[in-house]
């Protein structure tokens, strides 16, 4: 079928511009929409079309949403009158160089079921608003895919950016390939390839990307959704707990721990297995035993209370692991010096055997970090003396660039990571342990009376993230939400409110949303708002 | 060097008579200038006219061959003033700039030029930055034409019409001794099409000839009593002469049947949109043969009473399609009909939107509404009485799901760290009164920075803080780009601050180019430019005008230093304005310069070092504090395949150019140790390789030693 025999709804009967093929391209500034437009025009002209393209360049093209528009007509008798911008309901082909831009095309009415073929790359280029959220602010790809599928006559979509990256080319080439492969333009493949060849730059890579995308689009009917959609990967159920390598003594201890995980309620087992690995990797098997102690207590309390779903245990398995594997300097150093990490960095740099990589770490320790790795009494002594603490801070507070590919800086970090074996005696550990213990006890105590509140209490741990100021801010918000949780205890909607407070705490950096939510809670608790805020 | 090179395209400027020119609207206009025997050209860059300046710069050889003087003017005012060469001399001249902002700046010179009038044709090409994609306030150039009595051409947006408009523009200008403005809308500037070329013409009198034979006529100078005579002359002689030329040469066009109940009057620039609406309503064919008469105003000013009244004769109603507001054309036509006591009803705004861009949908709707009222028999049944929408409306739930995507700083932009530092300083010293200016740095007003409360015009950022000059608890801060600085800022802003003993802080963002408009060179550009004088430091100019407290930063990516200098500027005891010059090359242009060099070096087997940043995903906790100080497109999010982690972590994609902002910000704001920089050394030297392998061996030994003593998890990605 050529694109010109439309299903002929009544509006197309009278439309005298029906012989004109209308193509809109929506892209993010910098993606090469202009190149793609030029290619399409060139290929159209080579095929005997009269073609016109327009765009609105300028500052709008600096990383913003931008649109290009092409009209073409086969063998006109004389000069046709083409429009300079796409009109809703009057577009035959929309090429979207990114998933949300496909969504934008739909919301602008450029994609209509009667006639529009939508060709979209499903990869995401995140907008600033999505990235700056404290939690996960990303737009829902699923909603856009559904909307696009509904709005388009035909929806050709796959990750065209990946094809471009894999072929060492640019997305404009894979978009052209998808457009050509979809067969929606009556222009032969060879003509498109001729256009690319004539363009003269990066020709081979462009042709590879073109061919790969062409094949995908040509093969594509309606793709099997799950594997194609850019949804976050569903965490996979691990069939077997991994068998670690290492000294036999440690492996025996590990096997004992795994046996304890197997004895946990089925719902919590997967998460507990992963959590166990995390805390043992962080410290040692004894630390893993401490982790499992808490989970077993939670499971027991839930069993006693008749909560067969074991939601608290499952949540605790996740959040306690994160709490126990806190981000101290030892952990950071440990991560930075591992061989697997070196391999990852080399892959990121696309290094081959003949090249070298230099790795520079950006570190900025302060007095808190220094005290944290001191034996508890000494660290606490300094912490208790603000003048001394400030003096120390001034001495150490500066950015440090550490070249971990060089031996001595590496060795420094290596020694630091070796402090692991003494970690239990260090100040930071004392702080962290006290904190997670009181939080765990609080959640465990709630199990018999308010299971939902216990779950939400456990989940509040998500608020504690980051390092230094970020960490302190998270901690302060955690404390405030926990205090409100205590105040709300006994109410039927306590869990729901704690959830809302937690979401408010993640809503903005300034803390306004949390302040507002806390005021709301106070308003119905008929209490004075607290004076001090974090 | 400009962002886009037209070196290949300018060759089409050499096409001769009968050959077919293919390309962009702007290039076609340039070609038409050469065909018209233009003697000098100039202008100031700015969308949508930037490419015209780039084309002229790249076409210097061709211009030189023809004896055409090319000037890259310092501002639109300089450009308009240059047209003075056509006052006493029979030389054709053309300048180009964006409108209405450029026309605002140029209006002093334009008014003087229009008062005395011209001998040689004077053409002002204005790129209309209106509607979608525009970056300026939404106003009309029409008012400038009316107030100074400059004729305004608004040709149909196709290449032959635009080319004709250039030819006629010069002739009209000469026939009526009046400068002519050629208005080209944003999409027409970039429309790709074709026309049949003519031979280029050398100017009959060149600017060199003029210098050998200087002329002056006192009655052309704007000074009483000549100025009073000019006003009379505009009405008594120039206007009628213009009308005569326009009528005789049929610059305005009439299409469609001679007799009809209704008709459409439209600006030339609206033609394609109107015809498309007619095509979709079944009232015009694909070639524009219309069933409804069209009166197309390729000359939007002056309007010609006789032509219009003739068109209205026998018609019950006419619809004026006039984009933008106020509706000057509609008002003028209304007055004509009224004075002539004609029965024809004039319709315009009402069925058509009062304000805003006339998009395809808006025009089609307005046209259908007009025809339903005045000529329903011409409409197909479903448009005469529409009873259901043709297509389901766009799903509104989707509109909420799609995030807005305003323009922002590019990958690796050197301005990002300036605003990151500013944000950090504000976190420490509290919020400040901050004024912004025009240029890429204006993106600071968007998230994640949200810095800057007003923008008052090019180079006017510091001036716009004038009322806050000193005496407050905190200093006011203003930003100004290097483009704005040289355009107007040196005198209007910095000089103003010195003279008024300002206590405020001025941050000049120097990225080596007029970057927002496409990377054209300016006075302080570091590049060698074969026809222009560059490398004049901003710091020298600022000191020269009397600023004593000046700090130059030569690497904006050094966020700690940037922050420290801003802090110092805000807290120093020094008197007078505090000027911080933050310099680093525009990354877009730097990459364009360096990439080919790097590729060449690689081909030749030479040592090449490429930086890139990365994030240790197991060290990143997913708080995104770094994003709130960056917004870099290459710094993005990634979901880990780890159910223990709720939030996506930071990740750096392949577009990273290794500018350093991530690491510097993480350091300056004490965020986290997740960022690392990796420098890939390709074709390393022998000694370097040896050192590298020794290091790798030692490090590998320690890594293996460590793993022997602990449990290692295979499935663990860490």
Q: Collapsing DSSP states into helix, strand and coil, what is residue B454?
A: coil
Residue limits of CATH 3.30.70 in chain B: 607-708
Residue B99 backbone phi and psi in degrees, to 5: -130, 150
Angle formed by the axes of helices A285-305 and A248-262, to 10°? Answer: 10
Q: Which residues of B touch A232 (CB under 8 A)?
A: 639, 648
- Domain of residue A112 covers 10-228
**Residue-level pLDDT at B172:** 98
**CB burial of residue A408 (10 Å; 0-12, 13-18, 19+):** exposed
Residues in chain B: 718
**B687 inside 8 A of chain A by CB:** no
How far is C-alpha A481 from the geometric centre of its chain's CA atoms? Answer: 25
Confidence bin at B6 (pLDDT 50/70/90): confident
Residue B147 to residues B143, B151, B610: CA-CA distances in angstroms? 6, 11, 56
Pair A295, A247: CB distance under 8 Å: no
Is B633 close to A410, i.e. CB distance below 8 A? no
> What CA–CA distance (Å, rounded) separates A524 from A522?
5
**Residues B15-38: what's their mean pLDDT?**
96
**B688 inside 8 A of chain A by CB:** yes
Query: How many angstroms away from the CA of A335 is the closest CA of chain B?
Result: 7
Query: How many angstroms away from the CA of B654 is the closest CA of chain A?
Result: 8
Pair A304, A344: CB distance under 8 Å: no
Residue the block writes with tokens 């323009």: B407
Q: Which two tokens stand for residue A146?
A: 């559904």
How far is C-alpha B196 from the geometric centre of its chain's CA atoms? Answer: 29
DSSP B352-395: B-SSS---HHHHHHHHHHHHHHH-GGGS-HHHHS--S-SSPPPP
**Residues B298-322: what's their mean pLDDT?**
98
Residue in A with minimal Cα distance to B560? A399
Residues in chain A: 534
Say which of A55, A63, A250 has its CB closest to residue B190: A55
**Residue-level pLDDT at A227:** 43
**Residue-level pLDDT at B713:** 86
Query: How many angstroms away from the CA of B348 is the closest CA of chain A?
Result: 21
Residue limits of CATH 3.40.50.970 in chain B: 18-203+217-248, 416-589
Q: Is the dihedral of CA B454, B456, B457, B460 positive or negative?
A: negative
> What CA–CA distance (Å, rounded) separates B648 from A230?
14
Residue B291 to residues A242, A336, B60, B301: CA-CA distances in angstroms? 78, 75, 47, 27
Angle at A266 between CA A260 and CA A267, to 5 degrees: 120
Could you tell me which residues come within 8 angstroms of residue B659 by beta carbon, excluding any fewer than 6 positions away? B411, B412, B413, B414, B416, B557, B587
Query: How many angstroms away from the CA of A487 is the closest CA of chain B?
Result: 27
Q: What is the pTM of this model?
A: 0.94
In a domain, A380, yes or no: no
In a domain, A352, yes or no: no
Strand ranges, E, within A8-90: 21-28, 49-55, 65-74
Is B398 close to A103, i.e. CB distance below 8 A? yes
Q: Which CATH number fits domain B607-708: 3.40.1350, 3.40.630, 3.30.70, 3.20.20?
A: 3.30.70
> What CA–CA distance (Å, rounded) separates A155 from A185?
15
Say which of A82, A83, A242 has its CB closest to residue B714: A242
Q: How many CB atoms lie within 10 A of CB B693?
A: 11
In angstroms and rounded to an integer, the radius of gyration of the C-alpha atoms of chain A is: 30
What percent of chain B is modeled with pLDDT above 90? Answer: 91
Please state whether beta strands B40-43 and B69-72 pair in parallel, antiparallel, or not at all (unpaired).
parallel
Residue in B with minimal Cα distance to A162? B654
Query: How many angstroms away from the CA of A494 is the closest CA of chain B?
Result: 23
Which residues 381-400 in chain B show a CB within 8 A of chain A? 382, 390-395, 397-399
Q: Is the dihedral of CA A212, A214, A217, A220 positive or negative?
A: negative
Q: Which two tokens stand for residue B391?
A: 């297509």
Which of B282, B676, B681, B688 should be substituted to probe chain A, the one whose Cβ sees the most A Cβ atoms within 10 Å?
A: B676
Q: Which residues of A touch B20 (CB under 8 A)?
A: none
Return the bridge partners of B580, or none: B507, B551
**B279 inside 8 A of chain A by CB:** yes
In a domain, A34, yes or no: yes
Long-range CB contact pairs, A198-204, < 8 A, 24+ = A198/A42, A199/A35, A199/A38, A199/A39, A199/A42, A202/A169, A202/A170
Return the bridge partners of B679, or none: A358, B611
In a domain, A29, yes or no: yes
Q: Which residues of B touch A59 (CB under 8 A)?
A: 47, 135, 407, 440, 516
**A287 inside 8 A of chain B by CB:** no
Q: How many CB atoms lie within 10 A of CB B546?
A: 13
pLDDT tens digits for B71-80?
Answer: 999 999 999 9
Query: How many angstroms away from the CA of B174 is the closest CA of chain A?
Result: 31
> What CA–CA distance (Å, rounded) separates A454 from A488?
12
CATH number of the domain bearing residue A87:
3.40.920.10
> What CA–CA distance (Å, rounded) separates A114 from A7?
7
Q: How many CB atoms lie within 10 A of CB A179?
A: 29
Q: ipTM value, please give it.
A: 0.94
**Residue-level pLDDT at A29:** 86
Number of domains in chain A: 1
Give the 3-state secondary structure percentages of chain B, helix then strand then coil, rounded to 5. Answer: 40, 15, 40
**A128 inside 8 A of chain B by CB:** yes
Q: Which residues of A touch B713 (CB under 8 A)?
A: 242, 244, 277, 281
> What CA–CA distance (Å, rounded) separates A15 from B654?
46
Query: DSSP state, A375?
Result: B
Is A509 close to B666, i.e. CB distance below 8 A? no
Q: Which of A52-66, A458-472, B664-678, B699-713 has the lowest mean pLDDT?
A: A52-66
Is B671 close to A55, i.e. CB distance below 8 A? no
Which residues 470-499 in chain A show a CB within 8 A of chain B? 470, 474
Considering the domain B18-203+217-248 in this protein, what is its CATH number?
Answer: 3.40.50.970
Residue the block writes with tokens 């005997």: A48
Which residues 100-119 in chain A show a CB within 8 A of chain B? 100-101, 103-104, 106-109, 112-114
Q: Is the dihedral of CA B153, B156, B158, B163 positive or negative?
A: negative
In a domain, A120, yes or no: yes
Say which of A86, A107, A340 has its CB closest to residue B402: A107
Pair A396, A328: CB distance under 8 Å: no
Q: Which two tokens stand for residue B128?
A: 């209309």
**Residue-level pLDDT at A58:** 61
Q: Which two tokens stand for residue B509?
A: 């963002």
Is B683 close to A10, i.e. CB distance below 8 A? no
**B649 inside 8 A of chain A by CB:** no
Is B633 close to A63, i.e. CB distance below 8 A? yes
- What is the pLDDT of chain B when averaged over all its residues? 95
> What CA–CA distance (Å, rounded) separates A20 from A2?
13
Q: How many CB atoms lie within 10 A of CB B501?
A: 11
Is A85 close to B706, i.e. CB distance below 8 A? no
In a domain, A153, yes or no: yes
> What CA–CA distance (Å, rounded) separates B635 from B653?
7
Query: DSSP state, B488?
Result: I
**B467 inside 8 A of chain A by CB:** no
Which residues 412-471 in chain A show a CB within 8 A of chain B? 414, 417-418, 462, 465-470
> What CA–CA distance (Å, rounded) separates A304 from B404?
51
> What CA–CA distance (Å, rounded) separates B223 from A197?
62
Q: How many CB atoms lie within 10 A of CB B180?
A: 28
Torsion of CA B228, B230, B234, B236, to 10 degrees: 70
**Per-residue 3-state assignment (H helix, E strand, C coil) for A312-337:** HHHHHHHHHHHHHCCCCHHHHHHHHH
Residue B149 to residues A320, B243, B305, B634: CA-CA distances in angstroms? 78, 13, 17, 51
Residue limits of CATH 3.40.50.920 in chain B: 255-384
Pair A338, A477: CB distance under 8 Å: no
Say which of A83, A244, A357 has its CB closest to residue B712: A244
Query: What is the homologous superfamily of the domain B416-589 according to CATH?
Result: Thiamin diphosphate (ThDP)-binding fold, Pyr/PP domains (3.40.50.970)
**A236 inside 8 A of chain B by CB:** yes
Which residues 496-525 in chain A show a CB within 8 A of chain B? 509
Residue in A with minimal Cα distance to B159? A52
Query: Residues in chain A with pLDDT < 50?
Result: 1-10, 223-233, 235, 531-534
**Residues B653-657: what's their mean pLDDT?**
93
Is pLDDT at B382 greater than 80 in this prediction?
no
In a domain, A351, yes or no: no
Which residues 402-441 in chain B show a CB within 8 A of chain A? 402-411, 440
Confidence bin at B549 (pLDDT 50/70/90): very high
pLDDT tens digits for B215-231?
Answer: 999 999 999 999 999 99
Please state whether beta strands B675-682 and B608-615 pair in parallel, antiparallel, or not at all (unpaired).
antiparallel
Say which of B158, B405, B676 has its CB closest to residue A361: B676
Q: Which residues of B touch A57 (CB under 8 A)?
A: 47-48, 51, 133, 190
Torsion of CA A263, A264, A267, A268, to 10 degrees: -130
- Mark residue A465 as left, alpha or beta (left: phi above 0; alpha: psi -120 to 50; beta: remaining): beta
> What CA–CA distance (Å, rounded) separates B77 from B74?
8
Q: Collapsing DSSP states into helix, strand and coil, what is residue A96?
A: strand
Angle at A61 between CA A59 and CA A64, to 5 degrees: 105
Q: Collapsing DSSP states into helix, strand and coil, what is residue B252?
A: coil
> What CA–CA distance (Å, rounded) separates B89 from B28?
26
Task: Specify the CATH architecture of the domain B255-384.
Answer: 3-Layer(aba) Sandwich (3.40)
In a domain, A519, yes or no: no
Q: Collapsing DSSP states into helix, strand and coil, what is residue B596?
A: helix
**Residue-level pLDDT at B717:** 43
Pair B608, B679: CB distance under 8 Å: no
Is pLDDT at B299 greater than 60 in this prediction?
yes
Residue the block writes with tokens 């000549």: B226
**Residue-level pLDDT at A12:** 60
**Residue-level pLDDT at B291:** 97
> What CA–CA distance (Å, rounded) separates A357 from B689?
11
Q: Return the higher-pLDDT residue of A58 and B169.
A: B169
Q: Which residues of A touch B681 (CB under 8 A)?
A: 355-358
Say which of A17, A133, A405 has its CB closest to residue B695: A405
Residue in A with minimal Cα distance to B399? A107
Pair A302, A313: CB distance under 8 Å: yes
Could you tell me which residues come within 8 angstroms of residue A476 by beta carbon, excluding any fewer than 6 positions away? A534
How far is C-alpha B580 from the geometric centre of its chain's CA atoms? Answer: 26
> What CA–CA distance (Å, rounded) separates A394 from B233?
77
**B200 inside 8 A of chain A by CB:** no
Strand ranges, E, within B279-428: 294-297, 299-301, 317-321, 345-347
Which of A83, A130, A322 should be substituted to probe chain B, the one whose Cβ sees the most B Cβ atoms within 10 Å?
A: A83
């Amino acid at each position: 079928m050529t694109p010109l025999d439309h299903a002929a709804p009544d509006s197309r009967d009278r439309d005298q511009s029906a012989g004109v093929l209308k193509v809109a391209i929506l892209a993010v500034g910098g993606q090469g929409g202009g190149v793609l437009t030029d290619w399409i025009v060139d290929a159209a002209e080579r095929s005997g079309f009269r073609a016109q393209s327009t765009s609105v360049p300028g500052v709008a093209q600096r990383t913003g949403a931008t649109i290009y528009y092409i009209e073409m007509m086969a063998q006109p008798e004389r000069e046709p009158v083409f429009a300079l911008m796409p009109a809703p309901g009057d577009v035959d082909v929309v090429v979207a160089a990114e998933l949300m831009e496909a969504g934008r095309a739909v919301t602008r009415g450029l994609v209509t079921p009667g006639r529009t073929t939508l060709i979209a790359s499903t990869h995401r280029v995140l907008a600033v608003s999505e990235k700056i959220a404290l939690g996960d602010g990303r737009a829902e790809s699923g909603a856009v895919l559904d909307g696009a599928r509904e709005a388009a006559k035909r929806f050709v979509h796959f990750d065209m950016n990946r094809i471009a990256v894999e072929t060492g080319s640019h997305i404009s080439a894979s978009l052209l390939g998808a457009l050509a492969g979809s067969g929606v333009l009556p222009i032969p493949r060879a003509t498109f390839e001729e256009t690319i060849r004539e363009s003269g730059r990066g020709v081979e890579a462009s042709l590879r990307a073109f061919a790969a995308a062409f094949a995908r689009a040509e093969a594509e009917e309606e793709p099997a959704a799950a594997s194609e959609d850019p949804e976050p990967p569903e965490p996979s159920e691990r069939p077997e707990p991994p068998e670690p390598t290492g000294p036999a003594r440690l492996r025996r201890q590990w096997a004992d721990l795994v046996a304890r995980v197997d004895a946990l309620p089925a719902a919590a087992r997967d998460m507990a297995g992963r959590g166990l690995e995390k805390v043992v990797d962080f410290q040692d098997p004894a630390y893993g035993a401490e982790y499992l102690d808490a989970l077993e207590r939670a499971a027991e309390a839930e069993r006693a209370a008749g909560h067969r779903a074991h939601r608290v245990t499952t949540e605790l398995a996740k959040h306690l692991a994160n709490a126990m594997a806190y981000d101290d300097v030892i952990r950071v150093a440990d991560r930075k010096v591992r061989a697997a990490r070196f391999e990852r960095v080399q892959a990121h740099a696309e290094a081959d055997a003949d090249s070298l990589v230099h790795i520079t770490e950006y570190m900025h320790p302060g007095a808190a970090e220094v005290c944290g790795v001191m034996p508890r009494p000494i660290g606490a002594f300094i912490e208790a003396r603000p003048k001394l603490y400030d003096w120390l801070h001034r001495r150490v507070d500066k950015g440090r660039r550490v070249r971990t590919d060089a031996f001595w800086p590496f060795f420094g970090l290596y020694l630091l990571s070796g402090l692991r074996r003494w970690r239990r005696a260090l100040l930071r550990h004392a702080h962290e342990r006290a904190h997670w213990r009181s939080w765990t006890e609080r959640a465990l105590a709630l199990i018999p009376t308010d299971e939902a509140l216990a779950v939400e209490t456990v989940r509040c741990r998500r608020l504690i993230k980051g390092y230094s100021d970020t960490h302190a801010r998270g901690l302060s918000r955690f404390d405030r939400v926990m205090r409100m949780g205590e105040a709300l205890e006994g109410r039927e909607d306590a869990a729901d409110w704690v959830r809302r407070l937690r979401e408010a705490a993640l809503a903005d950096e300034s803390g306004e949303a949390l302040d507002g939510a806390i005021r709301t809670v106070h308003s119905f608790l008929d209490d004075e708002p607290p004076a001090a805020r974090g | 060097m400009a962002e886009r090179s037209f070196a290949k395209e300018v060759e089409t400027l050499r096409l001769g008579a009968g050959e077919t020119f293919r390309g962009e609207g702007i290039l076609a206009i340039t070609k038409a200038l050469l065909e018209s025997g233009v003697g000098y050209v100039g202008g100031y860059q700015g969308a949508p006219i930037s490419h015209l300046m780039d084309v002229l710069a790249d076409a210097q050889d061709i211009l030189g061959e023809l004896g055409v003087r090319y000037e890259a003017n310092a501002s639109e005012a300089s450009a308009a003033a240059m047209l003075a060469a056509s006052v006493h001399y029979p030389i054709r001249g053309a300048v180009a700039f964006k409108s209405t902002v450029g026309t605002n700046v140029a209006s002093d010179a334009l008014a003087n030029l229009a008062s005395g009038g011209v001998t040689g044709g004077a053409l002002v090409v204005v790129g209309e930055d209106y509607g979608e994609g525009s970056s300026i306030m939404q106003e009309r150039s029409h008012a400038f034409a009316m107030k100074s009595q400059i004729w305004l051409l608004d040709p149909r947006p196709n290449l032959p019409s635009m080319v004709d408009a250039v030819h006629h523009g010069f002739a009209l200008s000469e026939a009526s001794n009046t400068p002519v403005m050629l208005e080209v809308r944003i999409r027409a500037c970039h429309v790709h099409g074709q026309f049949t070329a003519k031979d280029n013409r050398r100017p009959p009198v060149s600017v060199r000839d003029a210098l050998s034979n200087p002329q002056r006529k006192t009655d052309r100078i704007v000074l009483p009593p000549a100025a009073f005579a000019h006003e009379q002359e505009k009405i008594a002689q120039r206007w009628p002469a213009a009308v005569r030329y326009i009528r005789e040469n049929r610059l305005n066009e009439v299409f469609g049947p001679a007799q009809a109940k209704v008709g459409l009057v439209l600006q030339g620039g609206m033609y394609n949109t109107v015809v498309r609406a007619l095509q979709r309503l079944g009232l015009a064919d694909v070639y524009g043969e219309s069933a409804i008469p069209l009166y197309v105003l390729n000359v939007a000013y002056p309007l010609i009473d006789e032509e219009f009244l003739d068109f209205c004769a026998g018609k019950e109603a006419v619809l004026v399609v006039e984009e933008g507001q106020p509706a000057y054309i509609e008002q003028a036509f209304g007055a004509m009909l009224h004075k002539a006591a004609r029965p024809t009803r004039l319709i315009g705004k009402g069925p058509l939107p009062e304000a805003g861009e006339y998009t395809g949908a808006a025009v089609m709707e307005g046209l259908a509404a007009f025809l339903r009222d005045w000529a329903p028999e011409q409409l197909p049944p479903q448009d005469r009485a529409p009873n259901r929408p043709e297509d389901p409306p766009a799903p509104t739930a989707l509109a909420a799901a799609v995030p807005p995507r305003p323009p922002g700083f590019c990958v690796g932009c050197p301005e990002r760290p300036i605003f990151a530092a500013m944000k950090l300083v504000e976190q420490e010293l509290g919020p400040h009164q901050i004024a912004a200016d025009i240029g890429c740095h204006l993106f600071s007003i968007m998230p994640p920075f949200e810095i800057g409360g007003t923008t008052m015009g090019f180079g006017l950022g510091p001036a716009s803080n004038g009322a806050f000059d000193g005496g407050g608890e905190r200093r006011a801060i203003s930003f100004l780009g290097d483009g704005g600085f040289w355009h107007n800022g040196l005198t209007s802003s910095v000089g103003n601050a010195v003279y008024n003993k300002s206590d405020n802080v001025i941050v000049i963002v120097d990225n080596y180019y007029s970057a927002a408009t496409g990377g054209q060179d300016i006075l302080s550009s570091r590049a060698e430019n074969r026809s222009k004088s560059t490398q004049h430091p901003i710091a020298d100019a600022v000191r020269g005008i009397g600023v004593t407290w000046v700090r130059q930063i030569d690497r904006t990516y050094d966020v700690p230093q940037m922050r420290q200098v801003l802090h110092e500027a805000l807290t120093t005891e020094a008197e007078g304005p505090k000027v911080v010059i933050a310099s680093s090359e525009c990354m877009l242009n730097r990459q364009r310069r360096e990439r080919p060099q790097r590729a060449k070096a690689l081909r030749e087997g030479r040592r090449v070092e490429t930086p890139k940043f990365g994030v240790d995903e197991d060290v990143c906790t997913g708080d995104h504090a770094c994003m709130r100080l960056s917004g870099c497109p290459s710094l993005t999010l990634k979901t880990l395949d780890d159910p223990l982690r709720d939030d996506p972590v930071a990740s750096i994609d392949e577009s990273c150019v290794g500018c350093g902002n991530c690491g510097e910000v993480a350091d300056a704001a004490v965020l986290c140790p997740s960022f690392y920089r990796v420098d890939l050394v390709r074709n390393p030297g022998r000694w370097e390789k040896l050192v590298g392998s020794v290091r790798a061996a030692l490090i590998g030994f320690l890594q293996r030693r460590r793993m022997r003593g602990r449990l290692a998890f295979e499935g663990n990605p860490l």
